Structure 1
Amino acid sequence: MRSSQSLFTACGLLLVLGSFAGPAPAAPPAKPSAAKPAAPAASTAKADEPFVETVNVGVVNVDVYVTDKKGNPVTGLAKNDFQLLENDRPVEITNFYAVNNGKSVTPLTSIETAATAPAPGAPPSPAEMEKIQTPEDQRLRLIVYIDNYNLRPFNRNRVMRELRAFIGQNLGKDDLMMLATYDRELHIRHTFTSDPSLIAAGMLDIEKISAQGVHADSDRRDVLQKIADSQSVAEAETFAHSYAENTFNDLSFSLDSLKKMVDALAGMPGRKAVVYVSDGLQMIAGQDIFYAVQAKYGEQSTSMTSTLAYNVARRLDELTAQANANRITFYTIDAAGLRSYDSTSAENQGPGAQQPGMSQLVDSVRISNLQSTLQTLAEKTGGMAILNTNDATPKLARVASDFKTYYSLGYTPPHFGDGRYYKIEVKVKNRKDLQVRHREGYRDKSIEALMSDGTLAALNFPFEQNPLGVTLELGEPRPRDDGFYLVPVLVRIPIGKLALIPHEQTQTEDARVRLFIAALDSAGGTSDVQQAPVPISIPKKDVEAAQKKQYVYSVTLLMRPGEQRVSIGVRDDVGAQACFLSRSLKVGT
């Protein structure tokens, strides 16, 4: 039996001790106790250690939407109809999955048995296809994201009425939905559920919350009036820069919230779609205001060159790249609908002289600036933008078509875990008349990054994946004099599920297992994901008996009082299997 001591510090979580116990029977002890510190054994390389090559094979799934020139979905395509390129180089399509109107139209041999499998070369019957459940890596997880900070109440409530009808009519029994809002910070209003009525009820509750886009209208009118009344170009540019800086700051918070959502979804399997609702985000903060300065002062103004400092295009590219890395597609809705020029409204005219054509030019720039971010989010991630309409229902029908009718192309890249971003392109052979949408690329994440993503997903959402049958037990918290608590944690790993490596020199069979752990407190504070090796070595003579037992790994967490949630990831590096699970507890009284 081995023991070692590990010390990790994180926000709200201190992993003070990791210890290993030998094989234990399946029944847990009555009460876990804290292990006592022991000096770590010196790490020395073993010359007789066997060479074991672990091959990590990662399949990249690319969801592809094919439509004709009228936007109608094109069905009936086969694997050989597609060409898939990574960084402009053709790659072999190894996995092919086609869905038509919510039903798989490709056979899944994994569910067939010798008794029920069709004859070689024969497709499954319609009755057999009806029994096929959606594979986990094809299951849809839909996030409705209402950007309250960048919405007007009337626009928001109109679109949410259409969305309530949309999710009630178009989501399948295997689909999961979540509702989130941005109100200067991200709020999860309802976590993932398969019940559309719960999301619809959450939207009704959101209508009671103030939408803050009207404040932006007031700020914009004020600065335009100041520019109209200004006595010099310097004075007008000062007003423009102040407005742009404040707007850029607000944009940064808005994009940070979207990135936080994208990062949180990274470890969730399957297809992920975000329906993002707002009145638009400015690609260049204050661009229309600088046009107003130029329109009044002409060549005297050099302020247009200053707009580069307020451009969020780079940050938007980072956001879409992260979304692509996590298999997330954005569908954006401009809730403002059919926009009219503000200059046509008496409310927005204000006193003072108006330059001929100035207001219409400024309004035109403003509309294009607000919508360009929505178009970029959608186009770069393979989705679509719903713009310039007061009735989103027809366009939402096309979004529903994406959810129900698509192709998933899988391939195994020649590299694994190098952290680089790779460009993806999909073509339909000999069919230039068709339109093909898909994400622009993906990031080849390392095992450590994938395990951290999964551990955080289990921490933040109702997500569990447990092929090894690991169990997680949280013991009774014990108070310390400084107000913190020691929480014992037991992780039980069934030895019979692990891949063991024979070690002839020591007459043992060894497993290579790693533990990843994180915690979330009641205030939303999340610790960093920490990892530790779990070396398991069993004498050959005991392997047969050990196959029926569990290996126990214990840690003690130092935690603050309050509601807490602990998640773990366990990876068998030889068997290339990963588990993610979490448990909640209340620390203190």
Structure 2
Amino acid sequence: MKILPLLALLALQQAPFVEQIEVRIHDIDVIVTDKTGNAVEGLRKEDFELLEDGKPQPITNFAAYSEKAATQIANAPAAEAAAAPQVPPPRKIVFFVDEMSLTEQVRNSLAKNASEMLERTMRPGDEAMVIRPANLGDKVGVELTGDRESVRSTLANAIQAQTYRPDVGFEGELRRFQLESKRASARKELLELRRRHAAVVRRRVENRLTTLRAIIATMATLPGRKVLVTFTESLPATPGLEFFDDNTPGMPAQFDISDAPFETPSEHVPPAYLDLRPVLDELARMASSNGITLYGIQPEFDLRLSFGDDDKSLNTIAVQRALENTADTMNILTGKTGGKFLRGDTHADEVLRTIERDVASYYSLAYRAGDDYDKAHKVAVRVRNHPEYNIRARNEVTRKSPPREMTDRVVAALVTANVPNELGIAARANPPVKEKRGGYNVDVDVGVLIGRLLLLRDGDKYRGKFTVHYAVTASDSDFVSGMDQEQVVEVPVAEYETAKSKWWRHTLHMKMGAGEHHIAVGVLDGLAQRAGMATLKVDVK
């Protein structure tokens, strides 16, 4: 912590001094369908049972939404109109189109179905946009628009751009691995190949998840019904798992051990692929906590894939395992948020029609949130006396603390183009200092005007508090994030007017490796709950 001159009387203390009373509720959007998939309308508050961690919760707010509401209200008598369902609130729909390798037939079908869904779904007040994967350093512009034709054209073009290319995504990764693995002369060499190629897949997947997290963090603050639709061919929960299976086509059947060096048991290291399911759980929890419903569409791989000159057979084993690996990811993301995932271009229209029905007819239930922050709670919704109904809703809620929400927003700032800065903070990085043991120390100064913070008078002093949050890229696809200890500011009443025009500076001490790093920092005013964020790039060498 550093304080600029003339502010020597400013002091830090850890004890909070302002008590805030806040009541929050959890809103649960509920889709109810019959056995044929048609929406069930006409249900009332008393028809529902809502449970948190298995315990019934009083439903404090209830609403039924239907696209038919406008017609019903216009044609019904006054008494009936009062009980009729409401028109759904404005919707926010974001489409994330991943890098894929699609045949012309699949592209045309997918683009057609997506365009028709937008035509049928978007109405005045709704907003949507299309996002593509971002490379390191690229910024994702999350700018929603109500121009349906513009969104339709952008979405169709994004899908049509996914032409068949054997070097993209899963197919390219598996092809390169199998070509190299055929030349492996020992199991240790093969293990190193597996690790290296699994790391390539991991970087791709982490890059996509970082983008999705940024989208979710940006959508979190938006009002209304929020939907995120992901089109992806490969987003595995355990990146590179297929490379560690000896039954995958293209693996050497045996090794010539005549010249192989002896390896002790300690040299046999467990497979080095990463299980991202905990990360996916947290991402789904983040979406669920902010009322964002996720849907997933995975086109089938082209089963004509073959690798190498000697193998022209269908590569069904690797394809099937890759499909299941991605299904694990999408089932986590959609299951926790009340969405739906289906595979294959023949099912794409079904998913898109499901989205159309889901945003057109649903129920909204609300109950009071508990007092605990940052703790996940299981939620279940039932319709009394109707076990035959299918119910979809988010199955977890978390009352996020303001600092936790702020950290999510700072992570999003790493890749989003629109970085809000209500507090007008500034940030700069000092020259890197190399350590004897390797690595570098980088100090980042974060400044905020005292006059931008809310300070309340307490006797002969004005007091306020704030937290500083950060996120920094740790590699070409991953990042680390965190928050410094809450700071409490005291300014003597006699010094207050002068202090308002001065900068408060807080220094973050970061350890980095060599290379280019992107940093996002944020300051959250603990009293006003106003925030400011800034981003910068550091070339560490």
User: Normalising to structure 1: TM-score of the pair?
Assistant: 0.63
- Residue 42 of structure 2 aligns with which residue? 76
Q: Does 1:198 align with 2:150?
A: yes
- Residue 311 of structure 1 aligns with which residue? 275
Asked if the contact 2:334–2:341 (Cα under 8 Å) also holds between the matched residues in 1, the reply is yes
The alignment of Structure 1 onto Structure 2 pairs a total of residues equal to: 477
- Residue 353 of structure 2 aligns with which residue? 397
Match of 2:331 among 369, 372, 375: 375
1:351 aligned partner, one-letter code: D
- Residue 124 of structure 1 aligns with which residue? 82
- Residue 310 of structure 2 aligns with which residue? 351
Question: CA 1:53 to 1:123, structure 2 compared with 1: closer, same or farther past 3 Å?
Answer: farther
Q: Does 1:175 align with 2:129?
A: no
Shift of 1:104: 8.6
- Residue 516 of structure 2 aligns with which residue? none
What is the CA deviation profile of residues 397-434 of structure 1, one whole-angstrom value per residue up to 9, with x for unaligned ones?
111111121111111133243x2121212122222111
Percent identical among aligned pairs is 22
Match of 2:340 among 384, 409, 414: 384
2:289 aligned partner, one-letter code: A
Shift of 1:213: 6.5
1:106-505 → structure 2 map (5 Å cutoff): 124=82, 134=89, 139-148=90-99, 150-152=100-102, 154=104, 159-185=110-136, 187-189=139-141, 191-203=143-155, 206=158, 214-215=166-167, 216-227=170-181, 236-293=190-247, 309-336=273-300, 339-342=301-304, 348=307, 350-351=309-310, 359-390=315-346, 392-417=348-373, 419-450=374-405
1:79 aligned partner, one-letter code: K
Structure with higher Rg: it is 1
What is the CA deviation profile of residues 256-276 of structure 1, one whole-angstrom value per residue up to 9, with x for unaligned ones?
332233233333344322111
1:320 aligned partner, one-letter code: A
What is the CA deviation profile of residues 223-252 of structure 1, one whole-angstrom value per residue up to 9, with x for unaligned ones?
334556766655555544433232223222
Q: Does 1:40 align with 2:9?
A: yes
2: CA distance between counterparts of 1:456 and 1:219? 28
Shift of 1:518: 9.4
- Greater CA deviation, 427-436 or 370-379? 370-379
SS at match of 2:132: strand
1: CA distance between counterparts of 2:151 and 2:350? 21
- Greater CA deviation, 529-538 or 371-380? 529-538
SS at match of 2:65: strand
Shift of 1:172: 2.7
Shift of 1:453: 6.3
- Greater CA deviation, 214-223 or 424-433? 214-223
Shift of 1:284: 2.9
- Greater CA deviation, 364-373 or 427-436? 364-373
1: CA distance between counterparts of 2:72 and 2:532? 31
Asked if the contact 2:127–2:145 (Cα under 8 Å) also holds between the matched residues in 1, the reply is yes
Shift of 1:373: 2.0
Question: CA 1:397 to 1:554, structure 2 compared with 1: closer, same or farther past 3 Å?
Answer: farther
Asked if the contact 2:139–2:417 (Cα under 8 Å) also holds between the matched residues in 1, the reply is no
1:59 aligned partner, one-letter code: I
2: CA distance between counterparts of 1:463 and 1:272? 20
Question: CA 1:582 to 1:367, structure 2 compared with 1: closer, same or farther past 3 Å?
Answer: closer
SS at match of 2:59: coil
Asked if the contact 2:47–2:384 (Cα under 8 Å) also holds between the matched residues in 1, the reply is yes
1:258 aligned partner, one-letter code: L
- Residue 432 of structure 2 aligns with which residue? none
1:40 aligned partner, one-letter code: L
Asked if the contact 1:61–1:410 (Cα under 8 Å) also holds between the matched residues in 2, the reply is yes
Shift of 1:492: 8.5
- Greater CA deviation, 163-172 or 397-406? 163-172
Shift of 1:176: 2.2
2: CA distance between counterparts of 1:511 and 1:444? 30
- Residue 92 of structure 1 aligns with which residue? 58
2: CA distance between counterparts of 1:553 and 1:399? 50
Asked if the contact 1:233–1:293 (Cα under 8 Å) also holds between the matched residues in 2, the reply is no
2: CA distance between counterparts of 1:534 and 1:273? 40
2: CA distance between counterparts of 1:197 and 1:425? 38
SS at match of 2:144: strand
Question: CA 1:445 to 1:511, structure 2 compared with 1: closer, same or farther past 3 Å?
Answer: farther
2: CA distance between counterparts of 1:224 and 1:443? 44
1: CA distance between counterparts of 2:362 and 2:206? 34
Asked if the contact 2:96–2:132 (Cα under 8 Å) also holds between the matched residues in 1, the reply is yes
SS at match of 1:282: coil
Asked if the contact 2:141–2:418 (Cα under 8 Å) also holds between the matched residues in 1, the reply is no
Shift of 1:174: 2.4
Question: CA 1:90 to 1:207, structure 2 compared with 1: closer, same or farther past 3 Å?
Answer: closer
2: CA distance between counterparts of 1:288 and 1:44? 54
SS at match of 1:249: helix
Asked if the contact 2:213–2:283 (Cα under 8 Å) also holds between the matched residues in 1, the reply is yes
2: CA distance between counterparts of 1:191 and 1:285? 31
Shift of 1:44: 9.4
- Greater CA deviation, 230-239 or 55-64? 230-239
Question: CA 1:300 to 1:517, structure 2 compared with 1: closer, same or farther past 3 Å?
Answer: closer
Shift of 1:441: 0.9
SS at match of 1:124: helix
1: CA distance between counterparts of 2:67 and 2:334? 22
1: CA distance between counterparts of 2:410 and 2:184? 56
Asked if the contact 1:191–1:461 (Cα under 8 Å) also holds between the matched residues in 2, the reply is no
What is the CA deviation profile of residues 32-80 of structure 1, one whole-angstrom value per residue up to 9, with x for unaligned ones?
xxxx94443568999xx9x986421111111111112222221111112
What is the CA deviation profile of residues 136-161 of structure 1, one whole-angstrom value per residue up to 9, with x for unaligned ones?
xxx4322111123x554855675344
Asked if the contact 2:403–2:524 (Cα under 8 Å) also holds between the matched residues in 1, the reply is no
Asked if the contact 2:449–2:503 (Cα under 8 Å) also holds between the matched residues in 1, the reply is yes
- Residue 511 of structure 2 aligns with which residue? none
1: CA distance between counterparts of 2:50 and 2:146? 33
Question: CA 1:513 to 1:487, structure 2 compared with 1: closer, same or farther past 3 Å?
Answer: closer
Question: CA 1:580 to 1:359, structure 2 compared with 1: closer, same or farther past 3 Å?
Answer: closer
In the alignment, structure 2 segments of 5+ residues that lack a partner are 256-264, 426-445, 472-478, 494-498, 506-519, 535-541
Shift of 1:279: 0.8
In the alignment, structure 1 segments of 5+ residues that lack a partner are 1-5, 8-15, 18-35, 108-117, 465-470, 475-485, 539-551, 559-564, 584-589
What is the CA deviation profile of residues 519-569 of structure 1, one whole-angstrom value per residue up to 9, with x for unaligned ones?
99xxxx9x999988799999xxxxxxxxxxxxx9656599xxxxxx99997
Shift of 1:220: 1.8
SS at match of 1:182: coil
